[in-house]
């Protein structure tokens, strides 16, 4: 019974595989890899999208929509946090922080906060002509 491949065939195939492995190693050495670690909502995906924009890969329409919503939500959360901190500082020392006083229980302030929160949930279509 004879084998299906000769020794020369096996050696040639082996050389081809080794050449492919060496070529792939050269390619892999030129690729820069970055591991992004962080908790949820820490900006890992946003950083990746910014890199895409800066280096010309562009973004998909869904990326724009997802990013827009996330950015709006973060802005609203930050605004509310600033309002609460302002109120806290005013409460601790009203005399020295008089110009920073914001009463978040005031009807007009509540109405403004609701408008901002509603704005963060709106879906604007920036991709259509």
Which residues, including other chains, have CB under 8 Å from residue 128's CB and lie 6 or more apart?
Answer: none
Give the H/E segment covering residue 1: none
Residue pair 32/51 in contact (Cβ under 8 Å)? The answer is no
What is each CA distance from 43 to 33, 54, 64, 111, in whole angstroms? 18, 16, 15, 30
78 is in an annotated binding site: no
Residue ranges of the annotated binding site for Mg(2+) are: 45
Residue ranges of the annotated binding site are: 45
């Amino acid at each position: 019974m004879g084998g299906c491949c000769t020794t020369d065939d096996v050696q040639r195939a082996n050389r081809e595989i080794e050449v492919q492995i060496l070529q792939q190693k050269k390619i892999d050495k030129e690729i820069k890899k970055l591991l992004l670690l962080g908790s949820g909502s820490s900006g890992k995906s946003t950083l990746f999208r910014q890199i895409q924009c800066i280096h010309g890969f562009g973004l998909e329409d869904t990326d724009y929509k997802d990013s827009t919503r996330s950015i709006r939500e973060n802005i609203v959360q930050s605004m509310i946090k600033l309002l609460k901190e302002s109120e806290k500082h005013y409460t601790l020392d009203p005399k020295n922080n008089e110009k920073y006083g914001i009463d978040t229980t005031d009807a007009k302030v509540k109405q403004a906060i609701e408008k901002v929160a509603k704005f963060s949930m709106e879906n604007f279509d920036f991709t259509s002509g």
